[in-house]
Amino acid sequence: MPLDLTDEVMALAVNSSDFFDALNQQTLKVRGLKPGRYTLLIDDKLVGSFDAEALGAGVNLAKYQTPMWEQAMRVHNLTIHRANAHNTRWRSVHVPFVDEVPDETEKAMAALDVLRDQLRRKQRAVAQPVDRHFVLIPGDSGEVSIFNGKDLSGWHISKTSHHGTTPDWKVKDGVLTGTQDRPGEGGILLTDKKYKNFEISMEIRPDFSCAGGLFLRSTEKGEAYQVMLDYLDGGSIGGIYGEGLKGVQGVTPQWRPYWKGNQWNHLRARIEGDVPRIRVWLNGIQITDWKNTENHLPDGATEGHIAVQVHRGNRWIPGGEHRFRNITVRELP
């Protein structure tokens, strides 16, 4: 059963009960391993690190956001959508309007029946069994924090970004915040270190009407593959855009069903290959799998900085902030 344990209320309710022990089990046992730590990946998705003793006794994968959890969450969401279509048909159309405009009511109900049936077919298709690829790698996952939650150590402000050079990047209570220092003036904050193939994980919580981005393999002035962090009308979370790059045909994924408004949202992005492939997960659900046709970075670069962005322009409320926390990176071969 897919449970979002990043939700504090859900986590409190579940962890205060015997739900996992009594009902929600998906046990993985691996015996005969040499003592030590091992990292588990399923379909290239990092699940976690476990010691040999725990793997031998059995790890309950139902507690983790595995690809199986992701599949179950997609089925769960479609179940809710299907129920909403059914309930809308009866409660919002049939009951209030059937005696007023019966012919038009019948048409509206027929259209909702079509929607419900389409959702049912999609639900059943998503629920079909899928072969999974399990990999155990000796050692810990290699995830390291690149934001210490106290100050901007390891990061610096770009002085050449066309979005601006806002100095208003601050750290408070473990949260990195960025804002426009004056109306229309944005900017980017870059890591001192450059990265090539890597997976980055973070939590984000932008105020509404505050657009931003996550830059991968960025130059000092912000030429990069951008993962969009813009949930306004016309924007997207997890979309790919070539920031300052020519010829990049980006993508806008289906992300709204998985976005939690006015809450912290978990984002994971992975870039690999000289001609990059970029995958993005939002709250554990993969929403983007994008492959470039060639390397569009300046001078054919295959590495660059990681950066977070405060967007320039008037799509920003006065005093609004884009927030980031728990930023980690796992470098890949």
Distance (Å, rounded) from C-alpha 265 to C-alpha 260?
A: 6
Query: How high is the pLDDT of residue 274?
Result: 97
Distance (Å, rounded) from C-alpha 160 to C-alpha 80?
A: 47
Ordered by start, the domain boundaries in the chain are 8-67+132-138, 73-126, 144-331
The single-letter code of the amino acid at 170 is K
Distance (Å, rounded) from C-alpha 201 to C-alpha 7?
A: 17
pLDDT of the chain along its 333 residues, tens only?
A: 788 787 778 888 888 888 888 888 999 999 999 999 999 999 999 999 999 999 999 999 999 999 999 999 999 999 999 999 999 999 999 999 988 999 999 999 999 999 999 999 999 999 999 999 999 999 999 999 999 999 999 999 999 999 899 899 999 999 999 998 777 788 999 999 999 999 999 999 998 878 899 999 999 999 999 999 988 777 899 999 999 999 998 999 999 999 998 899 999 999 999 999 999 999 999 999 999 889 999 999 999 999 999 988 777 777 889 999 999 999 999
Query: How high is the pLDDT of residue 63?
Result: 92
Query: How high is the pLDDT of residue 3?
Result: 82
- Architecture in CATH for domain 144-331: Sandwich (2.60)
Nearest to 82 by CA among 124, 42, 135: 124
Query: How high is the pLDDT of residue 213?
Result: 94
Nearest to 230 by CA among 313, 289, 291, 290: 313
For the record, the structure tokens of 69 come out as 């959890």
